[in-house]
Structure formats: C-alpha cells, structure tokens
Structure 1
Amino acid sequence: MSKSKEYVTILIFAGKIVENLHFNPFCYNWWLAQSINKNPTHIPLLLIRVYSSPTEAINTCYEKVFHSNAKFSGPQVMGFDNSDIIQQLLDNIIFCLYMISFRKLNVIMLGMGKLKKPEWNYTGEEYKSIFQSYYDNTKSAFIQEVEDEECVVQIYTNNTLIRTYNAIDPDEVWLCIGRLSNYSRKKLFGLENLYTQICIQQAQIPSCMVSD
C-alpha cells in the first residue's frame, strides 16, 4: 500500500488577521476546513490566502516557476497537516472558527457571546454565524448576529449587503425572512450544536460592579 509523500515544511510567517475581512461575508474566501477528529461534532477552520485553496496556490506557483503541470496536495505542502504549524496559525486568532454541517447547509461560527436568555440557549452579544444559501435565485451569504439583545440577519449577494432583518429572537427573524422553513431556526443560528452550547457556557456573561 503506497504512502502519501511527506513534505518538510517550515512556517516563516503566519500572516495577519483582519477582522472585517476574515470574520465577515468574505470569510468563505479565506478559510479551509480541517477535521482532526474522525467523529467531529464541529470542524475547525484554518486560514488560507491569495487563492481559493492551498492546492490551487501551490500548483499555480509550481507551474509558473518550473513550467510543469505536476499536481500536489496544497494542504500537505503548506503544512496544514502539521500540528505544530496549525497551532502557530491559531495562536493569534480572535476566535477559532468552526463549521457545523447539516443536510445541505454548512454553518460557520464566527464569534461567541453570552446573555441570561435561556430561550436563546444563552447566546448573546458578539455571537455570529454565517452560511450560504440562495436568495432570489442567487447564491448569497446569510450573516446571523446578536446585537442589543436582538437577532439580526444580513444577506449579502455578490459581496454586497442587500437586506437586513431584525427581530426579538431567532424564530421571529427567520419568520420575517420567510425562507428555509424546513430547518429549525435555532439550528440555522448554530445554537442547537453541542459544541456551540459548550462554547456559550464558557463565554463570560457581561456584568458590572457598583464601583464601575
């Protein structure tokens, strides 16, 4: 049985994180799913740059430099299977993104927060998730957030914000949108996922002291 080729990869520079670029509608252009657990409840995401995938980046570069059509596994060449490199890439991440998959949707979790609202599964400010689906027959990005104790859904088409919906909870905001009724509203927000519930429990509930 043949073994895959092993590459000696050294991380020279991990790059910089730009919140508005890497944690908003454009995040689909910058992150690569990497599952380590064989039976994951969530899939962590790793950062990529320049091309739509590491394989495209490596093969395009190799072809330009060596004028060869040889094909390589981008993630392996870039060291994305190297636990030490992965840890270095994740060191300065504002929030370690992860992806939840169900049916035909992949929901990416972009941020986590907590409030004393059991009906929202205790999620709160800074909680943010995103997934891609169709809006008016065009593939669009749906960003879901919690702001000022309201649930907000922004819809981006071709990287342009076209609609914003606000309501008191996930059920109400998706009733306003009137789409994807075959999914649980909390599931669309990512709230029913076990790992998400653990992250929410670990998040700090905003509070202040009398002296503040």
Structure 2
Amino acid sequence: MSKQWKPSVTLIATGIIIPDLHFGPFLRNWWHVRSLQENGMKVEQYYPFQIGMKTQVELKNRPFIIRIVQGNKHNNLLLGFFCESLSESNEEVENDPTSAISNLYKRIFQTETRFSGTLLMGMDDNDILSEIV
C-alpha cells in the first residue's frame, strides 16, 4: 500500500474576496470545491480562491510561490495563477494552478513532471482552509 505524498505548504497571504468576482457571473471559477465523506454522505465544502492569496511550497530544495491574480490569458474576470521561484517566474499568467507550477518547474528542471496545483496551494490543508474562510 503506497502513501500519498503530501507537501508542506505555507500560507503567505490570505488575499481578499471581491464581491463582483466571487459572486458575479463567473463565481463557479472563484471557488475550490472540496468533497468529503461524513457519516456515509458526500459533503461539499466551498473555499474561495482570493485575489492576492499566496502560498509557498518547497520542491527539490527550492521555494515555489503561487499567487492568485485577477485575469488570465482568456478573460479579465477570471482568476489567474502566477508562480515564481527565486529569480524565475512564469512568462504569463496561467489559467490554473497546475499549469502555473508545472510549467515553471519544467523550465527550471527540464522535466515533464506535473503537479496538482491545488495540492501545492494547500487546498487540502485544514489549517490553510480555515484561514481563508
């Protein structure tokens, strides 16, 4: 039986909720849905992706910071993700956290490794989730 890798993620900034975005026509894009089983029932919990939210995770002894911004390459009302590590960063705002971290990691380490962006942002970490609600 294998144990799933769980990175150590640090919340640097919680960010802010902007009502016109988080409760507007694109609201489904601004929330992370976490599904749990409680007493045999599926429970869904919603957590906001907040503008300015920043998390840090260490990969191969190198810090990676993921930041949420307003706007991506498709629409200024949708969220975007930007990743940086030391002096390197994404060349453009990405549409999702997986692309943001994986594309930068690929450029730095010359590998095709892909990561779950929400995992590396701590969206399964109860301590982080309790701070952003």
Normalised by the size of structure 2, how large is the TM-score? 0.57
Deviation of 1:66 after TM superposition, in Å, equals: 3.0
Q: Which 5+ residue runs of structure 2 have no aligned equivalent?
A: 50-67, 69-79, 82-94
Counterparts of 2:9 and 2:131, CA distance in 1: 13
Structure 2 CA distance, aligned partners of 1:89 and 1:57? 21
1:44 aligns with 2:45: yes
Measured after TM superposition, the shift of residue 47 of structure 1 is: 2.6
Aligned position for 2:99: 56
Counterpart position of 1:67: 110
Give the direction of change, closer, same or farther, for the CA distance of 1:68–1:2 in structure 2 (3 Å limit): same
- The secondary structure found in structure 2 opposite 1:16 is coil
Name the larger-Rg structure.
1
* Structure 1 ranges of 4+ moved more than 4 A: none
How many Å apart are 1:21 and its aligned residue?
Answer: 0.9
Aligned residues: 89
Query: RMSD over aligned Cα, in angstroms?
Result: 2.0
Secondary structure in structure 1 of the residue aligned to 2:13: coil
Q: Which amino acid aligns with 1:61?
A: L
**Structure 2 counterpart SS, 1:35:** strand
Alignment CA distance shift 1:64-1:29 (3 Å): farther
In structure 1, the gaps of 5 or more residues are 91-212
Distance, in Å, in 2 between the alignment partners of 1:53 and 1:70 is 16
CA-CA distance at 1:37 after TM superposition? 3.3
Check 1:64–1:26 CA distance in 2 against 1; reply closer, same or farther (3 A cut).
Answer: farther
Looking at structure 2, the residues matched to 47 and 67 of structure 1 have their Cα atoms a distance apart, in angstroms, of 33
Q: Using the TM superposition, give the Cα deviation of residue 30 of structure 1 relative to its aligned residue in structure 2, in angstroms.
A: 1.9
Secondary structure at 2:10 match in 1 = coil
Letter in 2 for 1:27: L
Determine which structure has the larger strand proportion and give its number.
2
* Aligned position for 1:14: 14
Match of 2:120 in 1: 77
Contact 1:32 1:53 in 2 (8 A): no
Question: Which is worse superposed, 66-75 or 77-86?
Answer: 66-75
Percentage of identical aligned residues: 34
Report the secondary structure of 1:69's partner residue: coil
Q: Which amino acid aligns with 1:28?
A: R
